[in-house]
Structure formats: C-alpha cells, structure tokens
A and B are shown apart, each in its own frame.
Chain A
Amino acid sequence: MNDLLDPLLLSRWQFGLTTIYHFLFVPLTIGLALTAAIFQTAWVRTNKAQYLQLTKFFGKIFLINFAMGVVTGIVQEFQFGMNWSDYSRFVGDVFGAPLALEGLLAFFLEATFIGLWIFGWDRLPKKLHLATIWITALASILSAYFIIAANAFMQNPVGYQINQAKGRAELTDIWALLTNKVALAAFPHTIFACFMVTAALIISAAAWHLTRKQHVDTMRPALKFGLWMMVIAGILTIFTGDQLGLAMVQTQPMKMAAAEALYNTATGANASFSLFTLGTPDGVSELFSIRIPYLLSFLSTHTLNGTVEGINDLQAQYTQTYGPGDYTPIIWVTYWAFRYMILFGVLSIVTAVAGLWFTRKGREPKRWMWKVAIWAVPLPLAAMIVGWVFTEMGRQPWLVFGLLKTSDGVSPNTTGLEVLISLIAFTLIYGILAVVEFRLIKKAVHQGPEEPPEPDEVTGEIAHEATVY
C-alpha cells in the first residue's frame, strides 16, 4: 500500500502520462498550422479552388486538435507547482523565465491570431487573413523553442549560479540559457519530427481517399505534399538527431551509455552499436546480439576510433563527484526506447520514399500499398514519444542534471492520496477525450474536403460564415 500512495512515484507517473498525452497534440498543432499556411498561400497566389479546399480540410483537423493542445498545456504549467514544488522553488528563478517568455512572446500571439484566422475569413482582407495563419504557425514554433530551452536547462544547466543562502539556482545569463547547446540541437530535431508526424497524417488521409478514387484533384497533390514533407523532414530529423547525440555525449555521457547499455568503456571497433539484443541487457547475461562495429564511436564522437565511456566508469565517477548513490537510469527503458525511436522514424521515411517511387509520374500503386500508407500514420508519433521517454528517462535520477535529484523535487506537503486522485482523474478524462478526439479527426478525414464554394456575385469575394461554433 505504501508504494501505491508514494507521492514521488505517483507524481512521476502523472507527469509522464500528462506530458506524453499533451505531446500527442502538439506536433500536429505545429505541423498542421504550417500546412494550412502553405496551402492558403498557394490559394492566394494561384486562386485555384483546390488549394482553398485543402486549406480548409487540414484547417479543420488542426482545429479539432488545437483545443486539446491548449487545455492539456495548462495542466503542464500548473503541475510544476502542484506536484514539484521543491523543484519550482529551486529552479523558478531560472526555469520560470523561458516559460514567461513563451507566454508573452508566443502563446498570446498564437491564441489571438488563431481566433482571427478561424473567424476572420470574411472579416479580413485576403492577405491579412493569410498573415494570421502564418503568425499562428510561427508562434507555435517559437513557443516550442522556449519550452525546449527550459527543458535543456534540466539536461544541461547553464547560465546560472547557486545561491547558497536561498538554496536555489539563480539566472546569471539569459543568453546562455537560450543558446544552450542542447536546446540548439533538440529544437530542430523536435520541430522536424513534428513535421514528420503531420506528414504521416496527410499521407494517410490522402491515401484513404485515393484508394476509394474520390477527391482525386485535391488528394493527389496532398499525397505528394505529404510524401515530400515526410522525406525532407525525415532526413533533417536524422541529421539534427545526430547533432543532438553529440551534444548529449558531451553533456550527459551517462545517457549515451544507457542508450547502448554499454557497461564498460569502449574504443574504436569495440564501441559497437547493437541493433538488437536478446537477454537482459544488464551487461551480464547477453545471449545474442547483432552489432555494427565502430558505429557507437561514430555516433558519439564522429570518429571511428573514439572512446565511449561506459556505465560502470561513469557511475564510479559520479559517486566521487556527487556522493554515494545510483546514477544509472533504467537501462532497458533507455536501450529499447532509443532503438524504437530510430526504427519507427526510419520506417516512416522508407515508407514515404517508396510512396514517391510508386506514385511517380502519375502511376497508380497497388491496393496493399495504399493500406500501408493509411496504417503507417502512428509511426512518427510513436517515434517521437519514445524519443521523449528516452530523453527524460535517460536523465534520471536527476531532475536537473548534477544539481537536483528527482526525489528531491517533489512537493513535500502533497499526500499520495491527493496525487492518486489527480492521476486517476487525468487518466479517465484524458482517456475519454482521446477516444472522442480520435473519432472526430477520423470523421473529418473521411468527410474529405468540401466542394469549392461559389464566389459571391456581388462582391466577387468568397463568402464564409461568421459564426463558426
């Protein structure tokens, strides 16, 4: 029973659950805002009705998704104070600043201009209305930067000093905080991954209609758009992921060791990357594995004969620096999360490349290929989620690397029962809403784009309703 009501464990589960859930909606919000902006730009420039149809089609899915992103985002912000009050006291001076900047610079913009876009179709001049969706899209990307900069401080604290008297970290250099090398690498990696998630949805929606031979004049270009978006964003995600890996080795070598379950420091050919390991990867009972020599060395140092530090050495090193304790993350989680991230991501890209090949010059793919395109939709999202699980679980036992342990950040006065109540409440409500949300998106996708509206005879402008809800 004690375990069940342990506020630390429950708070960790709740944070993990609510964060993953929030991040189901964020990538689509970021990617679909940009998609709608691109199609609307194409419409404004060419005046072709099909681009307007696509703008509205993806705009509708974007909106179903958007409210969920907003309301689950408030939970994220309140949760630091509710469940992690000692963490908040310790880092608020540093960590609060990027959150406040995010609100002042990005959230207000996003929330204001999304309203103008939804309700402004017949109230704003065409070009100004186009600007509103671009501002929404760019603001959502900007907000991602600030939150990733905040997260990067937890991975690699910079720009601060410890105030012993107050027992807290204090900001000394905002520029250092915002140009944290982990943030600079993680931000593009995350954003391009968001575009992959969006591309998968576009491909899936287009394939669903094309396999039924309907809406061909809109869905064929949408398919091409989605496939290219996936390939380009996918390649960029790989390159930026590689950069992030380098930054990770420099700032959190334990995380890289945990990603490979590398117990003993290895050099050159021995610093191999295992594609697959059978047995418990605790370093003792490895039964079987497929290994690529040199690859781990290359990933960690960009040289073939580099040295990658192992878990045992790092554990000894950290014990010396930070005192006795276990400084190793849960290895099976990091090991497999890292592999599944790469597997799901690469599969998505391969599928899209194949899609481009089979649809080249107007060719018609076979039925099973459409099926693959439709059902591949969760792959990049799954890659993204296990990627974040790896990032956050690989940081353990630290909440702020080297400064504050997770066990020291939890609210001391919040009872296990309270956290259990909130965990159950969030799980229930989020679960129900996920079902509703999924059905609504599916319905909107299956409905397909509306027929192009007739231009209003009097004004020559296209008429839209002013009351959306």
Chain B
Amino acid sequence: MDLPTLWFFILGFFFIGYFVLDGFDFGVGMTLPFLGRDDTDRRVLINTIGPIWDLNETWVIVAGAVMFAAFPEWYATLFSGFYLVMLAILLALILRGVSFEYRHQRPEASWKRRFDRMIVIGSAVPAFLWGLVFANVVRGVPLDAGFNFTGSLLDLFNPYAILGGLTTLLLFFTHGVIFVSLKTSGSIHERARALAMRSGLLTIVVAAAFLVYTTVSYGTVWSGILSAVAAVTLIGSYIANLRTADRWAFALMATTIAVAVLSLFVSLMPDVMPATNDPANSLTIANASSSGYTLTIMSWVALIFVPLILLYQGFTYWVFRKRLSRASITEEVEPGAAGAGGGGAGAGPSGAGSSGSGEAAASA
C-alpha cells in the first residue's frame, strides 16, 4: 500500500472514531425529549456523556486537520463546496457544546428548557448532515478542472444523500439510546431499552435501504461485503438488546457504524470525491494527497501517538465506567450553585458523598 492510500485509511479511521464516539453523544442529545421525563432524568442523560462528549467531539477536529494535512485538495473542495451545510454543522456544534456547559449554571426551569432544546437541535442537525455530506461524497458532485464544486446547495439534497442523512440520524439515535441503556440503571435504563427496540427496527429498515442503494449504485465487491457485515451486526445489536445484553448491543452497534463508514470509504477508492460531470475532474487519492515527505512525517507521528491516544482515552472510559441513575443526581441544595469546577454544590450539607457509591446496583 502506498502512503496516500495508507493515509486514506488513517483518515477513515479518524472519521470512524468520530462517528462511533460523537455518534452516541448526538444520540443521547436527541433522546432528551424521549427519555427525559423531568429535569433529574435529563441530568442523568446528559451526565452519561458529561466527561467524554468534549473528547469525542475532538475527533472531528483531528479528522479535519488530518484531511487538511494529508489531502489538502479534498479538504478544500469539500469544505468550500458544501459551504452552507458545513456552516449548519458548525452552528449546531456550537449550540450543543455551550448548552452542556450553560444549562446547569442557573436553576430556573425556563433557562434549562432553552438549553435542552438547543442540545436536541445541536445533536440532530449534525447527525443528519454528516450522513448527507458523506453520501454526496460517495455519489459524487460536479467539479471543474480546478476541483472546485460547481453545483448548488439543492444538488446536495438529492434523494440518495437525504437517505444517507436519515441513516446516520437513525443510527446515531439508536446508538445513543443503547448507550444510555448501557450507562444507566433503574427506570431510565428500562425505558431506554424499550425505546431502542422501537427505534432499532426503523433504523434497520432505513440503513438497509441505504446500504443496498450504495452497493448497487456506487459499490464494489469489497464495499458490498462490508455493507453486508454492517447489516448483520446491526441486526445482531437489535437481538442483543432484545436479550438484555447491553454490552453486546452497544459493541455491535459501534461495529455497525464503523464498518458502514469503512464501506463508504472502500466504495470511494481510488477516488476521494468523484466528479459527476467529467471523470477527468475527479479528486483521487493520488491527485488530492500531500507530498511524500509530509505523509512520512505524519506517519511517524501517528505511529507513536495514536496508540497513546487510544490508551488514555480508554482510561477515561474505564474511570467513568459506572452506571448512573436518578440517585446519582445530587439535590440542588442551593439554587444556582449547581456547580461546575468539580461541583460547587457538592459542598452543600445534603449527602453529596453518596453519589459515588450508590449507583452501581445494576449489573451489566
């Protein structure tokens, strides 16, 4: 495998990491109206991703930077061509990120409701649009000889891409619901499992349609095989959930997303962004990539640091492995003091200390 191809797959790895990890963050955000009956419920939901949403979001920053460094032409064409779609993703990510930090800063119900709404929107919009973006990349767009996008915004909302957007929306939703069921105990856990049964069926139908469409219209043998694997693990995840095997359900769902994204990357090869108007204008792994020197340097950096990154991120997930429940949520003893910074409100007299221990009742 030559260096550009290697980096094509490394870039795929970072996008897979992003979609698997921030995917369930989006899902958790979208479940607020479905699983959050009251503020305590919603706080449990948000706290399941509390320590990790930020590092999960960092995967897209790194994926973007890797794309910039390894495939500058691809980066330039994609981001300038999909300008308004990228803008919508950015604005949604801004709203979501600040809402996590802001919602607990004041005790008023109206204040929290406002940020809850923004979390839902800020999660649903990128969950849909990332699918739309990648489906359009696979499908191809009109490009001129300088690789500049010549289509319009409406071209991006074609049936195939909309189906792609719905697929990621539903995949991430169900992924998030399964994550909640894995990370909670008590009533929220039960309701999350039940919701995953319902949303899972719809997800299977839509995702299968998208994978078949992709394989028939743009696929290769290998991407077809990967799509089939993704379909099997998706159904496996559903069955695991049926049998209350939370860990299996989550692992198989994560595998589904990873393999599905990989199958999109494989179906692209050797292009990275096919031109629908003239194949000569297509961006390919070869003509979009950086020089051998840059890729060599980056290979060494990746070789050393990616294992380290996986190690310390794994450590974080291990530290916060316990399930949360309504009992984990500390009463707000002093209105407005529900604390950031390791918890100002924890200083209050009413038993903040119990939160660490009383929650691990449920088994995996």
Within 8 A of B (CB), among A348-378: none
Q: Is the CB of B337 within 8 A of A447?
A: yes
> Are A120 and B319 in contact (CB-based, < 8 A)?
yes
B232 interface hit (Cβ, 8 Å): no
Within 8 A of B (CB), among A71-105: 71-75, 77-78, 80-83, 85-86, 88-89, 91-97, 99-105
Q: Could you tell me the distance between the alpha carbons of A155 and B210 in the complex, rounded to whole angstroms?
A: 47
- The reply to whether B58 and A413 contact each other, CB–CB distance below 8 Å, is no
A469-B346 CB under 8 A given contacts A70-B57, A104-B301 = no
A107's partner among B62, B80, B146, B324 (CB-CB below 8 A) is B62
**Also in contact, A73 and B94, with CB within 8 A (given A82-B83, A171-B291, A469-B50):** no
B281 within 8 A of A: no
Minimal beta-carbon separation of B273 from chain A (angstroms): 13
Question: How far is it, in angstroms, between the C-alpha of A107 and the C-alpha of B68 when the chains are bound?
Answer: 16
A192 to B362, CA, bound (A): 50
**Chain B CB within 10 Å, residue with most, of A88, A112, A433, A443:** A112
B94 touches A72 (CB 8 A): yes
Question: Does A99 lie within 8 Å of B83, measured CB to CB?
Answer: no
In the complex, chain B residues 46-76 whose Cβ is within 8 Å of any chain A Cβ: 46-47, 50-52, 54-55, 57-58, 60-62, 64-66, 68-73, 75-76
- CA of A163 to CA of B293, assembled, Å: 13
Contacts of B293 in A (CB 8 A): 170-172
The interface size of chain B toward A, counting residues with CB under 8 Å, comes to 91
Pair B69/A97 contact, Cβ less than 8 Å: yes
Q: Once the chains bind, are B328 and A466 in contact (CB under 8 Å)? A: yes
Q: Known: A63-B340, A82-B87, A466-B356. Contact between A411 and B80, CB under 8 A? A: yes
**Is residue B100 within 8 Å, beta carbon to beta carbon, of the partner chain?**
yes
Decide if A287 is an interface residue (CB 8 Å cutoff): no
A126 an interface residue at 8 Å Cβ cutoff?
no
- CA distance in complex: A430, B166 (Å): 29
A54-62, A241-249, A259-267: which lies at the B interface?
Answer: A54-62
Taking the complex as formed, is A216 at the interface, i.e. its CB lies under 8 A from any CB of chain B?
no
- CB closest chain-B residue, reference A172: B293
Question: Cα distance A71–B77 when bound, in Å?
Answer: 23
Indicate whether A412 sits within 8 Å of B339 (C-beta atoms), given known contacts A82-B87, A88-B76, A96-B290: no
Q: Pick the contact of A96 from B69, B144, B309, B328 — CB < 8 Å?
A: B69
Tell me if A453 counts as interface (CB < 8 A to partner B).
yes
Name the one of B44, B102, B298, B346 contacting A465, with C-beta atoms under 8 angstroms: B346
Of the candidate stretches B173-181, B195-203, B258-266, B347-355, the one touching chain A is B347-355
Stretch at the interface among A303-311, A392-400, A414-422: A414-422
- CB of B341 within 8 A of chain A? yes
Question: Provided the pairs A107-B58, A464-B342 are in contact, do residues A418 and B84 lie with their beta carbons within 8 angstroms?
Answer: yes
Query: CB of B90 within 8 A of chain A?
Result: yes
**Knowing A413-B150, A421-B87 touch, does A93 contact B76 (C-beta < 8 A)?**
no
Say if the beta carbon of A5 comes within 8 Å of chain B: no
Determine the main DSSP class of A at the interface with B.
Answer: helix
Q: CA A170 – CA B295 in complex, angstroms?
A: 11
Given the interface contacts A63-B340, A414-B80, does A97 sit within 8 Å of B294 by beta carbon?
A: yes
In the complex the two chains form, is A75's CB within 8 Å of B344's CB?
no
The digit string for B77-91, where 1 denotes a CB below 8 A from any CB of A, is 111110110110011
User: In this complex, what residue of A is CB-closest to B149?
Assistant: A413
Asked whether, in the complex, the Cβ of B79 is within 8 Å of the Cβ of A78, the reply is: yes
B301–A111 contact, CB under 8 A? no
Q: Which residues in B have their C-beta under 8 angstroms from that of A313?
A: none
Q: For the complex formed, measure the closest distance between the CB of B92 and the CB atoms of chain A, giving whole angstroms.
A: 10
Query: Shortest beta-carbon distance, B84 to chain A, in Å?
Result: 6
* Residue pair A83, B69 in contact (C-beta under 8 Å): no
Cα–Cα, bound, A89→B69 (Å) = 10
- Given the known inter-chain contacts A60-B339, A60-B341, A107-B62, please indicate yes or no for A467 contacting B47, CB distance below 8 A: yes
Enumerate chain B residues within 8 angstroms of A95, measured Cβ to Cβ.
68
A100 pairs with B68, CB closer than 8 A: yes
A59 pairs with B342, CB closer than 8 A: yes
* B334 CB to nearest chain A CB (Å): 9
- A124 interface residue per 8 A CB criterion: yes
Which residues on the A side are within 8 Å of B84 (C-beta)?
A: 418, 421-422
Contact A112 B316, beta carbon cutoff 8 Å:
yes
**Bound CA span A62–B81, Å:** 36
In the complex, the answer to whether B66 meets A108 with C-beta atoms within 8 Å is: no
Q: Is B73 in contact with A82, judged by CB distance below 8 angstroms?
A: no
Given A56-B342, A104-B302, A467-B43, are A81 and B79 neighbors across the interface (CB < 8 Å)?
Answer: yes
Complex CA gap A80/B148 in Å reads 15
Whether, in the assembled complex, A123 has its beta carbon less than 8 Å from a beta carbon of chain B, the answer is yes
| A78 / chain B contacts, CB cutoff of 8 Å | 64, 79, 86, 90
Residue contact A96 to B68, C-beta cutoff 8 Å? yes
Whether B186 is near chain A, meaning CB under 8 Å from some CB there, is no
- Is the C-beta of B101 less than 8 angstroms from some C-beta in chain A? yes
Nearest chain B residue, comparing its CB with the CB of A96: B69
Contact A67 B98 (CB under 8 A): yes
Chain A residues contacting B313 (CB-CB under 8 Å) are 108, 112
Interface membership of chain B positions 21-48, coded 1 if the CB is closer than 8 angstroms to chain A and 0 otherwise: 0000000000000000000000110110
A122 touches B (CB below 8 Å):
yes
A109: B residues at CB distance < 8 A? 312
Interface code B102-129, partner A: CB below 8 Å = 1, 0 otherwise? 1111000000000000000000000000
What are the interface flags for A407-451 relative to B under an 8 Å C-beta threshold, 1 for contact and 0 otherwise?
000011110001001100100010001001000100110010011
| A107→B55 CA distance, assembly (Å) | 8
Quote the shortest CB–CB distance from B18 to chain A (angstroms): 12
Contact present for B69 and A59 (CB under 8 Å): no
B194 CB-CB contact with A under 8 Å: no
Q: Which of B297, B324, B337, B341 contacts A171, CB < 8 Å?
A: B297
Q: Is A115 an interface residue (CB 8 A)?
A: yes
A456 and B354 alpha carbons, distance in the complex (Å): 10
Q: Which residues of A contact B148 (CB under 8 A)?
A: 85, 411-413
- Name 16 A/B residue pairs within 8 A (Cβ), A-sorted: A55-B341, A60-B344, A67-B97, A67-B98, A68-B98, A81-B86, A92-B72, A96-B68, A104-B301, A112-B55, A122-B355, A170-B293, A171-B294, A411-B83, A451-B347, A467-B330
Given A77-B64, A111-B54, A447-B344, 7 extra CB contacts under 8 A: A64-B102, A103-B61, A116-B316, A171-B294, A413-B80, A466-B359, A469-B50
